[in-house]
Chain A
Amino acid sequence: GNSVTQMEGPVTLSEEAFLTINCTYTATGYPSLFWYVQYPGEGLQLLLKATKADDKGSNKGFEATYRKETTSFHLEKGSVQVSDSAVYFCALGTSGSRLTFGEGTQLTVNP
């Protein structure tokens, strides 16, 4: 079956620090990969996605590259801000059906 493993959290950084959140997956077929973000008290928002190998998704300074050879989709940002504090979820999806999520990584950015 499909599964997603995220790096254990929580992660605490100072403003302007470099961020990496690791995500690896196991899947049959050729899934699409996603990062969702959940701000306090809010629902999930799509942050970025990649639909095939070597695709790079990017949004709001965040990037992730779909690496089929290492089955990974690590999230990176060069300079985090306090407003980036949230929970980040890596997920995979196959055509038409369910999304499979990782457990989430809590990010706290201090001024």
Chain B
Amino acid sequence: DTGVSQDPRHKITKRGQNVTFRCDPISEHNRLYWYRQTLGQGPEFLTYFQNEAQLEKSRLLSDRFSAERPKGSFSTLEIQRTEQGDSAMYLCASRQREATSTDTQYFGPGTRLTVL
């Protein structure tokens, strides 16, 4: 399978704990995106990387959230001091930089976070 992969698929944690999610993009894709999806809503953009550079962050990304892509390949999203409002599906997507930009992003299966 050469699609976008995410780990873990499910995470249950207690309020106040830190959690870290991992995303492995499609190998030749240099752009990587994180989104958050709450129940009954569409995904909301959090941040994106081009190679190892984090180029844009949403206002949704509070100080408790940090994302990295140290070698321009996989990425991690860490949430510190989790709150119940952080419970959501965290989606990763990747995109190839093409000569003709069609903006197609390919999504992973997501990590479902439940904060108790």
Binding site for B on A (CB under 8 A): 4, 32, 34, 36, 42-46, 49, 51, 89, 91, 93-104
Contacts and interface: CB of A to CB of B under 8 A. Distances in A.
B102 A32 contact: yes
A49 B101 CA distance: 12
Given A42-B109, A43-B91, A43-B110, A100 B103 contact: no
Given A97-B48, A98-B33, A100-B45, A44 B103 contact: no
B56 A98 contact: yes
Interface in B2-43: 4, 31, 33, 35, 40-43
In order of increasing CB-CB distance, the 7 nearest A-B pairs are A101-B42, A93-B103, A98-B45, A44-B107, A43-B109, A32-B103, A43-B107
Nearest to A9: B40
Interface in B76-116: 91, 93, 97, 101-110
Interface of B: 4, 31, 33, 35, 40-45, 48, 50, 56, 58, 91, 93, 97, 101-110
11 contacts: A42-B109, A89-B43, A91-B42, A93-B105, A94-B103, A96-B101, A96-B103, A97-B48, A99-B35, A99-B103, A104-B40
Given A45-B107, A91-B42, A98-B58, 7 more contacts: A43-B4, A43-B109, A46-B106, A51-B102, A93-B103, A98-B45, A99-B93
Contacts of B48: 97-98
